[in-house]
Amino acid sequence: MRWIFRLLGIVLVLVVFAVGALFLIPTDRIAGIAAQQFTAATGRALSIRGGVRPTIYPTVGVRLGDVELANMQGTDTGPMVLAGSIAVGLDVAALVAGNIVIRNLDITDARVILERGMDGVANWSFAPGAEPVTDIVTTEGAQASQGLVLDRAQISNASLRLIDRQTGTDLTLEGLDATLTLPAWQGPASLSASAVMRGQPLSLDAQIDGFGAFADGRVAPVSLSGQAAGATFAFDGRAGTGTLSADGQLSLDVPDLGPVLALLGQAAVAPQGVAPLSLAGQVTLAPAGSLHLRDGQIGVAGNRLTGAADVTFDGQRPMLSAQLAAGELDLTALTSGAGGGAGGGAAAAGWPTTPIDASALGLADAALVLSASSLRTGAFDLGPLRVAMTLDRSRAVFDLREVRLFDGLITGEFVMNNRAGLSVGGNLAARDIALLPLLRDMADFDRLNGTGAAELQFLGSGASVDAIMKSLSGSGNLGFDRGEIIGFDLAGMLRNLDMSYMGEGNRTIYQSITGSFTMNDGVLRNDDLSLDADRVTVTGAGSVGLGERVLDYRLTPVALVDRDTGQSLRVPLLVTGPWSAPRLRLDLEGLAEERLREERERLEERAREELRTRAEAELQRSLQIERAEGESLEDAARRRLEEEVGRGLQRLLGGN
C-alpha cells in the first residue's frame, strides 16, 4: 500500500505546480517546471508529453497527458510509470489552509513496474532529497496533522508488473481497475481492486484502520476479502509493512484446484477429488517471512481436519510442517476411478500405461503427522491410524506407525521417489489380519476364513503402473493361523473321488498355511507353499507374473486314505494362464512322474530285501549258524558266539 501513496505523491507534486495554470501561466512552462522540480527532488526523470490542462468543473484541478516516470538505474524493464492521462480535482479551500484534499483522482491506461533488484534496492525508493509523499502529506502548519485526504482515486485499464530479482518473481496483472478512498490521513482507508493474472480473475477489498500508522510501517488493524481464480479468502487482524507481517483470523475456500494452480504458474495437473479445499484459523506472517497456523480447521475432499502448521521459505523449496488430527476420513472421492484397471475387460488388457505425473512431489518439502479414528478408501475401510510423512527433494517417505485394518495391524514404511524418475518401494508388516473380510473387499473372494500375517519388502520403478509392476523386485513371507476353506471338503473329495464334497456346508479346516517368495523383474516365485489340515496336506510351487498378470503354479494336494497303513492319494494340479481366466487341470506329466517315482522306490526296496536275504543266507552258511524259529540272524549269531565262548572257557578251566 505504501508504494501507492508514493505514486500519489508524484501526482501531487505535479498538481501543486499545475494549480498555477489557473492564474494563466502557460501550461508548457508549468509542465517543465514540475518535471524539473520532481527530478531534483527524486533523481528520476519525469516527462509530461501530453501537456497540462487546468479544469474548473466539476472540481478545480488539472489534467496531465502522456506522463512518463523513469525507472531506477541498472534496470532494462523500461519506465517505472507510463500513464495515458491523470486527472486531479482539488479542494481549493483546504489547499489554501495547508491541507491536500483530493476530491477525485483518475488515472487511465497506466503501466506501472514495481521492481526490486538483486541488491535489494526497490524502484519505489526515491533519492536524492526528501521523498515527495512525506513533503506533501506532512505539511507543516496549524492543520498539518490532517495530512492527505482522498475522497476518491480511481485507476482504470492499468497493468502492474511485479519483479523481484532476488526471488525470481515476475508477475503481471492486466486490466487493473481500482478505487481508493482516504477520508482522513490517520483514519480508515479502503481499497477495491480487480485484475487478471495468468488468465485468472482476481479481486480484492481492503480496509485499514489508522492509515497513517500503516503508511509509516507500523502495525494497524486490517481487513481483507476477495477472490482469486475462483477461490475466496478473508482476513481480519493486524498487519504492518515496515517489515511485512500480519496476524489474524484467516478463511480460505477453494472449490476447484485447477485454476489456482494455473494462477500460481504450476503446470501440474490438479489431483482428482482433492477439492473442495478450505482453511480457517489464526494465521501469523512473521517478519522473517514464515507462515504459521494455529487452531486450524482444514477441509480436504469433504473431510475436516484440525491442527497446527508452519511454512518456511528460507530453503530451495517451501517447507511445510504440520500435525493434524481427524475423526472419520472419507477418501472415496480421491480413489474413485483410480482402480478402473483392476477388473473386467481392463484386467485382461493389463496394467494402465498412462504416464504418472509425480511432479507435485517437487513443489515443496514437508514433515507431516496425521492421526484419524477411521479411514474410508472406497476399496476398504481402516480403523484408527497414525501416519507420518516426510517429503525431501521429491522423495516422500510414509511411516505407518499404526494402521488398523480388518481387525489387524499394519506397520512399516512406504516410499515414493521422483528424484531421477519415479520409483516406489517399501518394507511392510501385517499381523492378525482377518482374511475373510480382507479377501472379500479386495478380491471379491469369500472362501477363506482365519487370521494371517505377512511381511513384504519391494521396489519398483517406471513412469506408469505397468512399468512399475513389470520391474518389481523384493521378497516376503506369509503365515495363516488355524482357519477354514469354505465351500468344499478337500480331504473327503480326494479320499472318495467324489465332487459332492463341494458346495454349501462343506469346509476344509486347516491348521496353518505358510510360504515365502521372492520377486524379480515383476515375477513372483514361490517353492514352499504348505497347507496343513486334518488328513490332507497341500504343497505348492511356481511363479506369478505380476507384470504380465499370468500364473504358472503347481499345487499338490495329498489325502491320507488309510491312517493305519499310511496309504495316501496325490493329485497334482496345474494353475496356468492369465489372471482374468486361469486354467486348472491335472498335472498328468507330474502324476506320471510321481507313479514312476513310487514304482522305482518299490523296486529299489524289493532289490534291497533280496540282497539282504542272500547276504544273511551266505553268512549263515559260512558261520554254520542254525537259526531257531522266529530268531533273527543277528540273534542267532550272538547265541552261537556265546556258546563258542562258553565252551572255550570250560576247556580253559579244565571242565569237560
Q: What type of residue sits at position 512? A: S
Q: Is residue 65 pLDDT above 90, yes or no?
A: no
| CA–centroid distance for 20 within its chain | 65
Strand residue runs (E) in 183-318: 189-197, 200-208, 220-228, 231-240, 245-254, 277-285, 291-300, 303-312
Question: What DSSP line would sit under 377-445, residue for residue?
Answer: -SS-EEEEEEEEEEEETTEEEEEEEEEEETTEEEEEEEEEE-BTB-EEEEEEEEEEEEHHHHHHHHHS-
Classify residue 345 as exposed, middle or buried by CB count within 10 Å of its CB (0-12, 13-18, 19+): exposed
Residue with the bigger pLDDT between 15 and 259: it is 259
Name the pLDDT band for 340 (thresholds 50, 70, 90).
Answer: very low
Q: Is residue 393 pLDDT above 70, yes or no?
A: yes
The pLDDT mean for the chain works out to 82
Across residues 553-578, what is the average pLDDT?
A: 78
Report which of 289, 137, 155 is spatially closest to residue 216, judged by C-alpha positions: 137
Across residues 325-354, what is the average pLDDT?
A: 68
Q: Is the bond preceding 183 in cis, omega lying within 30 degrees of 0? A: no
16/201 Cα distance (integer angstroms):
37
Cell of 499: 465332487
Q: Is residue 59 pLDDT above 90, yes or no?
A: no
- pLDDT single digits (tens) 344-376: 444 456 889 999 999 989 999 999 999 999 998
Residue linked to cell 476479502: 225
Q: Give helix 588-623 / helix 633-652 axis angle, nearest 10°.
A: 20
**Coil vs helix vs strand at 506:** strand
Cβ-based neighbours of 265, under 8 Å, separated by 6 or more: 198
Query: Among residues of the chain, what percentage have pLDDT more than 90?
Result: 43
Across residues 141-159, what is the average pLDDT?
A: 71
Lowest mean pLDDT among 24-33, 101-110, 434-443: 24-33
Question: What DSSP line would sit under 75-136, residue for residue?
Answer: --S--SEEEEEEEEEE-HHHHHTT-EEEEEEEEEEEEEEEEE-TTS-BTTS--SS--HHHHH
Query: Among residues of the chain, what percentage have pLDDT more than 70?
Result: 77
Cβ-based neighbours of 496, under 8 Å, separated by 6 or more: none
Q: What is the pLDDT of residue 336?
A: 60
Across residues 261-285, what is the average pLDDT?
A: 83
Q: What is the pLDDT of residue 185?
A: 83
Classify residue 280 as exposed, middle or buried by CB count within 10 Å of its CB (0-12, 13-18, 19+): middle
Name the pLDDT band for 621 (thresholds 50, 70, 90).
Answer: low
Q: What is the pLDDT of residue 521?
A: 96
DSSP structural state of residue 338:
T
Name the pLDDT band for 540 (thresholds 50, 70, 90).
Answer: very high
Report which of 123, 97, 120, 98 is spatially closest to residue 7, judged by C-alpha positions: 123
**Are 393 and 432 in contact, with CB atoms under 8 Å apart?**
no
- pLDDT single digits (tens) 175-224: 999 999 988 888 999 999 999 999 999 999 999 998 888 888 889 999 99
Q: Is residue 526 pLDDT above 90, yes or no?
A: yes
DSSP structural state of residue 419:
B
434/408 Cα distance (integer angstroms):
7
Report which of 138, 154, 155 is spatially closest to residue 146, judged by C-alpha positions: 138
Residue with the bigger pLDDT between 67 and 596: it is 67
Q: Are strands 567-570 and 148-164 parallel, antiparallel or unpaired?
A: unpaired
**Are 579 and 564 in contact, with CB atoms under 8 Å apart?**
no
Q: Is residue 234 pLDDT above 90, yes or no?
A: yes
569/507 Cα distance (integer angstroms):
19
244/459 Cα distance (integer angstroms):
46
219/366 Cα distance (integer angstroms):
31
- pLDDT single digits (tens) 101-133: 778 889 999 999 999 888 888 887 776 543 443
Count the residues in the chain.
Answer: 656
Q: Give helix 2-18 / helix 27-42 axis angle, nearest 10°.
A: 140
Q: What is the pLDDT of residue 9?
A: 56
Q: Is residue 334 pLDDT above 70, yes or no?
A: yes
- pLDDT single digits (tens) 444-469: 778 889 999 999 999 999 999 999 99
**Are 334 and 400 in contact, with CB atoms under 8 Å apart?**
no
**Are 240 and 277 in contact, with CB atoms under 8 Å apart?**
no
Name the pLDDT band for 46 (thresholds 50, 70, 90).
Answer: confident
Cell of 187: 483514519
Cβ-based neighbours of 34, under 8 Å, separated by 6 or more: 13, 14, 17, 18, 46, 48, 52
**Coil vs helix vs strand at 276:** coil
**Are 418 and 425 in contact, with CB atoms under 8 Å apart?**
no
Q: Is residue 145 pLDDT above 60, yes or no?
A: no
Q: Is residue 3 pLDDT above 60, yes or no?
A: no
Q: What is the pLDDT of residue 39?
A: 76
List, in sequence order, every residue forming a beta bridge with 654; answer none if it has no partner: none
- pLDDT single digits (tens) 566-596: 566 777 888 899 988 888 877 656 656 666 7
**Are 84 and 78 in contact, with CB atoms under 8 Å apart?**
no
**Coil vs helix vs strand at 212:** helix
Q: What is the pLDDT of residue 280?
A: 96
